[in-house]
Amino acid sequence: MYRYDEYDQTLVDERVRQFRGQVARRLAGELTEDEFKPLRLMNGLYLQLHAYMLRVAIPYGLLSAAQMRRLAHIARRYDRGYGHFTTRQNIQYNWPKLEDTPDILAELASVEMHAIQTSGNSFRNTTTDQYAGVAADEIEDPRVYCEIIRQWSTLHPEFSFLPRKFKIAVTGAPNDRAAVRLHDIGLIMRRGDAGETGFEVIVGGGQGRTPFVGPTIREFLPKKHLLSYLEAIMRVYNQLGRRDNLFKARIKILVHEAGAEKVTEMVEEEWRHIKDGALDLPAEEVERIRAHFAPPPYETLAAAQPAFEEKKRADGAFATWADTNLAAHKVPGYAIVNLSLKPVGGIPGDATADQMDAVADLAEHYSFGEIRVTHEQNLVLADVRRTDLHVLWRKLRDIGLATPNLGLVSDIIACPGLDYCGLANARSIPVAQRIGNRFADLKRQHDIGELKIKISGCINACGHHHVGHIGILGLERKGEEYYQITLGGSADQDAAIGKIIGPAFSSEDVVDAVETVVNTYVELRQNGERFIDTYRRVGKEPFKERLYAAA
Amino acid sequence: MPLLKDGVLVDDPWVTVDDGTQLPMDGPAMVSLERWQAHRDELLGRNAPLGIRLKSDQSPALIADDLDRFAVVALEFPVFRDGRAYSYARLLRERYGYRGEVRAVGEVLRDQFLFMLRCGFDAFEVRDENAAGQWREAVSEISVVYQPAADSRTPVWALRHRRSAAE
Amino acid sequence: MALQVVTANRIGDGTVVYLTRGGGWSERIADGQVSRSDEERDALMAVARAKAEIPEVVEPYLIDVVEEAGVVRPVRYREEIRAQGPPVHPAFGQQAAGG
């Protein structure tokens, strides 16, 4: 993984000093809250319903064991013993003290981490495929370009006061695990005519109150032009993005109102002036960064692992987990292991400090000391020998991270909702917990198959409900929580925005409603169809009929 | 308004003239884009330095052909959150090669100085005289830059390889 | 006239607090000074804003409350959660102390 050199380290150290000064000025009353707010937000510090909240950047979701241990330490020493992994592959702490935040940032800097731009109207953490570098279907490792983008977008002098926040996602594989079409900018690695690699560039996707699947504005961008092209997009957006209405300020609205063609034209015109200039990274710098992502020293192993197969035959619970939570690795004899942060009845994405420490140990023993965070709020050990899987599984089970539910009905994305968030209209976590409990029978979950439920507590859609196969949106009506259900959303390469199925359900009824949708699918499905396949074949009517038949 | 140039408070010789107000006979005067567009010839006939003040929705592209007429281009920050002028300043310096004064006016705060400086601003109308004391700290607290801009700082990616080439 | 109290977050640690009768801050809404008229409300907010200037607290604002058998409760569910702590973590916040 990328390691800081003296320059990277200097920047985060200086940033800690700078923020320490800003906090001191705030506590002394030299800065008003209005003046301090943008400064704290540029360092990921929010004020939420109960307390401050600190969001720590995990660049493209990649962590070393030492970094994970530091996150655990911070949870214990400065917070309440846990952290929450987010859909931007970051982690957030719900109870830090303002007075402690400079020390927390210093702790982070000591392990090459920071909280820069995890909030505010600037570039946010660039996200990617959690299987980057190891996926069997990958064209090229996207993390090299994520790191290049991370550096370029850090404290960018021109783009630190954008109309609104800005999110970039990159995938190196055609199977999109990073929801790139739902980002302000999405980049998909493609091959050009001569077999060279470059990017398809998508602009103006997003969720929130007006969701869009982003259009492609350039089919193929040679890699060397990446930063100049991004800068051209940003310069157009910074000048023309709407600043009169917070809800219309994202680039998706500019793309929607001006049209993708017009935006493309403006971007290309701007790019004409700046391409082949100072933003072309020297090849040796790209190679320097690439070297950090060199494959770890894999052993030469046979693709077939009889011992692993034997364990599966002998141990049904292990087999279930292996069939559900593993993904294909590009190197023979290795597997990608998903650690579910969605235990039945648990809080999606939460991990205790003890779990974090344990994962760090397991990463060191079994996966070259690295951990990934997924946008679906789970963790990944990406490089595990198949012969180690059984013992790893037992250890994961001991710490509650072996729930075999990856991609299943209880693997739910949920925003923090009204339990924590000042913007929320309704709670999200308890709905996720109740759905998890309703479908607690794993056999039933496996019979249902791939089904992505995503829950947001308000229209800002932090819980990605628009792209859930089943999406749930919390509303408030006369002081009561209600939940609107959408069906047919998807965040992958066939991205789609879900359709509202009908009137919202009370908190009491929403879990029954989800179960009715699931049962309807089970009755209608043909020949191994997934939920989303059946939905696409039959449309929303049969579901609607069943849901509202009694009314 | 106190004016900061090169980190020190200076006397501001410029008078900003509202659209409805008579222009002074002599002395440097700063006018709006609207006044410039409506009274271009009259303004050029004045035998004194001319400046222009652009609102945050007025791109310098609108005056690109006339930039050599202006000794100062002032770019407005109606609120600090409105970051359009950062792009405008870079366009002035890097696209149009403007060498005169690029002045930040409006809500200009200490914690923006560094970004503004990097984008090509070289004069800053500030709220109070304390700003001068804060200037040096504000523009030096982050020494590492990751991107080329309108200033002379070298991005780290170039420094890294300059160093390794020398080794 | 709706009954109201002033709430805010303490500057240093972010804890939810309520403006009390003595002009201090308490973590318990029960200690909050209830305003019963426009004048009382304005006076309370003036005190709170002055304290936010110091700064003792962040972003003070008024919430509607009801009084039932002498007990003050927020009208909105959001404020109930804020007063008590996150329902998913019963050990956190005032709910742990039994309200």
| DSSP of A483-538 | EEEEES-B-STT-B--EE-SS-EEHHHHHHHHHHHHHHHHHH--TT--HHHHHHHH
CA distance linking residue A262 with residue A252, whole number of Å: 13
Residue for token digits 């609120």? B79
pLDDT in tens, A331-357: 999 999 999 999 999 999 999 999 999
Residue for token digits 């739910």? A412
Q: What is the pLDDT of residue B72?
A: 98
CB contact at 8 A, C27 and C77: no
> With bands split at pLDDT 50, 70 and 90, how would you rate the model's confidence at B164?
low
Interface partners of chain A (CB pairs < 8 Å, 3 or more) are B, C
Residue in A539, A537, A517 with CA at minimum distance from that of residue A529 = A537
Interchain CB distance below 8 Å, A481 and C14:
no
CB contact at 8 A, A57 and A125: yes
* In-domain check, residue B128: yes
pLDDT in tens, C53-68: 999 999 999 999 999 8
* In-domain check, residue B137: yes
pLDDT in tens, A178-187: 999 999 999 9
Q: What is the pLDDT of residue B25?
A: 84
Helix or strand run (H / E) with residue C17: strand C16-19
Please tell me the least confidently modeled range out of A157-166, A419-428, A474-483, B124-133.
B124-133
CA angle A170, A296, A286 (to 5 degrees): 45
Residue in A10, A111, A134 with CA at minimum distance from that of residue A59 = A111
pLDDT in tens, A52-82: 999 999 999 999 999 999 999 999 999 999 9
Average pLDDT, chain B: 93
Amino acid at A480: E
Angle, in degrees to the nearest 10, between helices A260-274 and A251-258: 110
CA angle B119, A159, B36 (to 5 degrees): 55
Q: Is the pLDDT of residue C40 over 90?
A: yes
CB contact at 8 A, A92 and A83: yes
Looking at residue B103, which CATH number applies to its domain? 3.20.20.70
Q: Is the pLDDT of residue A429 over 70?
A: yes
The interface pTM score, or ipTM, of the predicted complex is 0.96
Helices (H), A182-282: 226-240, 251-258, 260-274
CB contact at 8 A, B115 and A157: yes
Q: Is the pLDDT of residue C99 over 60?
A: no
CA distance linking residue A296 with residue B15, whole number of Å: 65
* In-domain check, residue B45: yes
Q: Is the pLDDT of residue B165 over 70?
A: no
* In-domain check, residue B126: yes
Average pLDDT, chain A: 97
Please tell me the least confidently modeled range out of A27-41, A177-191, A197-211, A357-371.
A27-41
* In-domain check, residue B72: yes
Decide: C and A in contact? Rule: 3+ Cβ pairs under 8 Å: yes
Is A195 touching B (CB cutoff 8 A)? no
* In-domain check, residue B157: no
Helix (H, G, I), strand (E, B) or coil at B131: helix
Say what the pTM is. Answer: 0.96
Beta bridge partner(s), residue A188:
A171, A200
What are the CA-CA distances from residue C25 to residues A258, A287, C48, C56 (Å)? 51, 57, 10, 9
Q: Which of B:120-139 have CB within 8 Å of A?
A: 137
Distance between A155 CA and the closest CA of chain B, angstroms: 8
* In-domain check, residue B164: no
Q: What Rg value do the Cα atoms of chain B yield, rounded?
A: 17
Domain span at residue B86 reads 3-142
Interchain CB distance below 8 Å, A80 and C54:
no
Q: What Rg value do the Cα atoms of chain A yield, rounded?
A: 23
CA distance linking residue A404 with residue A393, whole number of Å: 10
pLDDT in tens, B44-80: 988 899 999 999 999 999 999 999 999 999 999 999 9
> Which residues from A are below 8 Å from C88, CB to CB?
347, 419, 427, 429-430, 433
Q: Number of folded domains in chain B? A: 1
* In-domain check, residue B149: no
Decide: B and C in contact? Rule: 3+ Cβ pairs under 8 Å: no
Q: What is the dihedral of CA A145, A146, A151, A155, to 10 degrees?
A: 140
> Which residues from C are below 8 Å from A347, CB to CB?
88
Interchain CB distance below 8 Å, A49 and C78:
yes
Is B80 touching A (CB cutoff 8 A)? yes
> With bands split at pLDDT 50, 70 and 90, how would you rate the model's confidence at A551?
low
What does DSSP assign to residue C69? T
Q: What is the mean pLDDT of residues C2-23?
A: 96
CA distance linking residue C70 with residue C77, whole number of Å: 19
Give the list of residues 6+ apart from residue C22 with CB closer than 8 angstroms, or none: none
Q: Is the pLDDT of residue B167 over 70?
A: no
Is A39 touching B (CB cutoff 8 A)? yes
pLDDT in tens, A137-153: 999 999 999 999 999 99
